């Protein structure tokens, strides 16, 4: 027995044998779930906050998902870098694709510069003047 329904995303009329199906395609299913599961914040093991989203029971970092939706799959050995360093600023103009090794060198350089600034301002003081 055929089941006729309107896709929840594109509203296209669809006829199928599966009574549980509510979408005309996998793309519509994923798009609808992306729109209707708002991002939540969690702490990664690096203790820096990224926005993540849950789609079909799987968690993904929002900045990676935005990159993939705009430019396609992220090649192996590459990461999506936040240009301004703000992990929740996921505007496409703030994201860039970078080799993992180059990304690691960049963040190591930033850490070295931060450490030298702390030494300049005084031992055991951070840039804001408080103890660390």
The verdict on pTM exceeding 0.75 is no
The pLDDT score that the predictor gives to residue 44 is 44
Classify residue 7 by burial, with Cβ atoms within 10 Å: 0-12, 13-18, 19+.
middle
Domain ranges within the chain, ordered by starting residue = 1-36
User: How far is 92 from 46, CA to CA, in rounded Å?
Assistant: 23
8-39 pLDDT, tens digit per residue, is 888 888 888 777 778 888 888 877 877 777 66
Q: Contact at 8 Å (CB) between 53 and 59?
A: yes
The pLDDT score that the predictor gives to residue 132 is 42
| Long-range contacts of residues 37-46, Cβ cutoff 8 Å, at least 24 apart | 41/88
């Amino acid at each position: 027995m055929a089941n006729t329904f309107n896709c929840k995303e594109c509203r296209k009329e669809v006829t199928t044998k599966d009574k549980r199906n509510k979408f005309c395609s996998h793309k519509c299913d994923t798009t609808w779930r992306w729109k209707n599961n708002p991002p939540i914040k969690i702490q990664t093991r690096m203790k820096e906050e990224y926005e993540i989203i849950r789609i079909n029971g799987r968690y993904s970092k929002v900045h990676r998902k935005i990159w993939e939706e705009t430019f396609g799959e992220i090649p192996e050995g590459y990461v999506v870098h936040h240009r301004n360093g703000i992990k929740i600023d996921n505007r496409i103009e703030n994201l860039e694709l970078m080799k993992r090794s180059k990304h690691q060198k960049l963040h190591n350089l930033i850490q070295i510069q931060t450490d030298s600034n702390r030494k300049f301002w005084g031992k055991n003081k951070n840039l804001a003047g408080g103890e660390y």
